[in-house]
């Protein structure tokens, strides 16, 4: 019983990931643009990510990434 439940949970998780490859790609491009200080591209990546289901906290976490703080 436990194995069947775990496999169903994994299947649901995989389906969620499979439904949002564009969201994931847009978030990755946003992260890269922020790290490379290419801020002119960020708005477009945020718009695309939100269009494909990104939550505000997912975007906010990238915007507040400590690695971007100037030294």
> Which position has the higher pLDDT, 18 or 60?
60
Question: Residue 37 and residue 2: Cα distance in Å, rounded?
Answer: 47
Question: Residue 51 and residue 47: Cα distance in Å, rounded?
Answer: 6
Query: Quick one: pLDDT at residue 55?
Result: 93
pLDDT in tens, 34-62: 999 999 999 999 999 999 999 999 999 99
Rounded to 10 deg, the angle between the 42-51 and 56-63 helix axes is 160
Q: Is the dihedral of CA 18, 59, 45, 49 positive or negative?
A: positive
CB 62: neighbour CB atoms within 10 A?
Answer: 21
| Model pTM score | 0.68
Q: Domain limits of the chain? A: 20-68
Query: Quick one: pLDDT at residue 65?
Result: 81
> Which position has the higher pLDDT, 7 or 57?
57
């Amino acid at each position: 019983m436990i194995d069947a439940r775990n496999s169903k949970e994994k299947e649901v998780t995989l389906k969620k990931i499979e439904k949002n490859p564009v969201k994931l790609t847009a978030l990755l491009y946003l992260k890269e643009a922020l790290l490379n200080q290419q801020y002119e591209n960020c708005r477009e990546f945020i718009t695309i990510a939100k269009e494909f289901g990104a939550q505000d906290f997912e975007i906010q976490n990238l915007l507040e990434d400590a690695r971007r703080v100037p030294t």
